[in-house]
Amino acid sequence: MAYLTLKEINKIYPNGFHAVHDFNLEIEKGEFIVFVGPSGCGKSTTLRMIAGLEDISKGEFLINGRRANELGPREREIAMVFQSYALYPQMTVYDNLAFGLTLQGVDEDVIDEKVRQTARVLGLTDYLDRLPRALSGGQRQRVAVGRAIIRKVGIFLMDEPLSNLDAKQRVTMRSEITQIHRETGATTIYVTHDQTEAMTMADRIVVMKDGYVQQIGTPYDLYFKPVNVFVAGFIGEPPMNFLRSAVTDGCVTVGETRLDLRHKLGGRAAELEGREIVFGFRPEAAVLGQAENAYTVPCTVELTEMLGDNTNVYINIQSDSAILKVDPHDAPEVDADITFSIPYENVYLFDGETEKAI
């Protein structure tokens, strides 16, 4: 039996707005699950229903097999870390960490031991007597995480906890939260709009759009086996390139180049004749010049972005645009006419109408 089970969960507000549609998920004990998607997709609303901060309009939420719909937040034994840190500004770091245990009536000696142990884990020992306003953003976030883990609950919920940090602090805190998860073994559900956080931290990712689950899977599955255009374009940086074309005699036309898809479509080539498909490939899959067992396409370079370890090359293919991700030493000149190749195995095909993977 799964540790957490969400069955046909829906959230409908009094004004009729349907924020979450038929959400289904089973989470094993100790898993790190990430909800990811654009703003307004329903990921934070789903997290708040799990926490007991929002009522579930329809469906059932189970904790270890027990129905939890009617349980309050405290009864669910859940600790939550918010985007805004939610620290008490008038309390020192020590008192912020100790506050939850103090409310529970835990003995002072036990509180002191747990606070100092948690501070050591999070690198906060030298800051215990400081107020939150004297801390950096990363240090405040560590206090917020520490206040959650000190309670030793079985479920951590994190709602975009790194969104207020700068790029360097985000990288550091990502690794720290992942390490804390390994050490505590707590079941963690983490909400973010940042697909890099999702890919680097999650055991499994739930991709959402407009209140609907698009795909659930490991980072590998979502990157290499996307089920539709949305997931394929959302996961990966730069995003996957998409070129639309109708199938004619088993071929599609990219720019002025006909690409034979019959070996990829197999028996479906005849079925798709005359229909529009989406031809997708990731920027990093492209190879400059010609290559064997690959589609080769001519194009014109519009812009290059040198990023250090790679260069993004923005290209024009007649009326279509795409991005190639190449070695900076091989980057072509702007306005140059070049060719690039996409290995057959790195091409993704989607139905032009449903946008589902073929």
Burial of 208 (0-12, 13-18, 19+ CB in 10 A): buried
pLDDT of residue 149: 83
Average pLDDT, 10 consecutive residues per value, the chain (358 residues): 94 97 97 96 97 96 96 89 84 94 90 92 91 90 86 88 82 86 90 93 97 98 98 96 95 92 85 94 96 95 96 94 96 96 96 96
Whose tokens are 């501070």? That residue is 119
Buried b / exposed e over 337-347, threshold 16 CB at 10 Å, is: ebebbbeeebb
Q: Please answer whether residues 147 and 99 qualify as being in contact, where contact means their C-beta atoms are separated by less than 8 angstroms.
A: yes
Q: Could you tell me the domains of the chain?
A: 4-234 (3.40.50.300), 241-351 (2.40.50.140)
Contacts of residue 148, defined as CB under 8 A and 6 or more positions apart, other chains included, come to 79, 80, 81, 156
Report helix, strand or coil for 203.
coil
Whose tokens are 């899977």? That residue is 217
pLDDT of residue 125: 94
Angle at alpha carbon of residue 228, lines to 223 and 233, rounded to 5°? 55
pLDDT of residue 263: 81
Whose tokens are 């969960």? That residue is 9
Torsion of CA 299, 302, 303, 304, to 10 degrees: 20
Give start and end residues of each alpha helix (H) in 18-92.
43-51
Q: Please answer whether residues 47 and 191 qualify as being in contact, where contact means their C-beta atoms are separated by less than 8 angstroms.
A: yes
pLDDT of residue 204: 98
